Homo-oligomer: A and B are copies of this chain.
Amino acid sequence: LRSSPLDSYKRLRLTFGRDIKSAANRGLLGENFRASLDFLSVLTREPLISAVPGKDYFAFSDGKKFSRAVNADLFGDNIAEWIAFEKSIKSRKLLKAFGPDRLTRLIYSVAISFCCYIDLTSSGDQKTPGTFFEYLIAHMFAWRLNVNPTTRIQVLNLDMKTFLTTDFIFDLGNERPKFHLPVKTSTRERVIQVWAHQRVLDGVFGTGRFLGTPVILTETKTDKTRKIVTEICLPAQWRIYQMHIAQLKRIYYLDMPVTYEKLNRVFPPLHVKPFGEFFFEADALSV
């Protein structure tokens, strides 16, 4: 009897918050990946026309419905890769051998598998994939930093005493940085919110106290009639936000847009990287 990806998703909804970095959560994420791959294994892969240089995309289809675009080079449908990852986390040396690229591909595959499952079994549900992606990234971040996040912090400012609802905040302790982690399946023009939240944290608590490190799945958009995949990128606006709203420390992608890669190489640089890199530079960011 095959299990549905919704089984592990529902259990995550119930228990995720208890101990976000826990092996129990990682187990449920792995179960979800296995069940999603099972579901997708019997579907056809319809090629899409990629307008993105150097990237190929396809969509899963049951003959009637189509999933969102899947990056062919990043997607791996082998559960053995998850098992290999589970083994690699036993030591720093093993994780280093696993490496950032395999990690990016694996996390991309886990995320996009469940997204495609929802695309094909529901009508227009954007919330469930978004919530699952939050679970996945928040767990990975918490596991790496070995601290659980909060999602609201108290503001004490003269006569004001209020709670600020935030994205995930990881507090590494006194005189150490706090990470500010927004998690989005895609951003487009809504990305300005990420800089605005960073600005609020800088304003309330002081610049440099929170490291803004958003994690985004992809910026692809598929024209459903013509089957063309494009990436919606706003590099000039990003540079203006980084200069005039707040400074983000890193912007991590699972499916890294070609256009944003170039922002690493202009001055002042904006550091946009594949998410797998985080696991190897996290300590350097925290000093």
Contacts and interface: CB of A to CB of B under 8 A. Distances in A.
Interface of A: 124, 155, 160, 162-165, 190, 192-193, 195-197, 199-200, 202-204, 236-237, 239-241, 243-245
A155 B239 CA distance: 12
A244 B204 CA distance: 7
A155 B243 CA distance: 13
Oligomeric state, in copies: 2
A165 B199 contact: no
B204 A240 contact: yes
B200 A241 contact: yes
B200 A162 contact: no
A167 to B, nearest CB: 11
Q: Describe A's contact surface by its main secondary structure.
A: helix
Q: Which of A195, A203, A241, A245 has the most CB of B within 10 A?
A: A245
B196 A195 contact: yes
A136 to B, nearest CB: 22
Q: Which 10 A-B pairs have the closest CB atoms?
A: A203-B244, A196-B196, A162-B236, A192-B196, A200-B244, A199-B245, A192-B193, A196-B245, A193-B193, A204-B244
Contacts of A236: 160, 162-163
5 contacts: A165-B237, A190-B190, A196-B196, A200-B245, A245-B245
Contacts of A163: 236
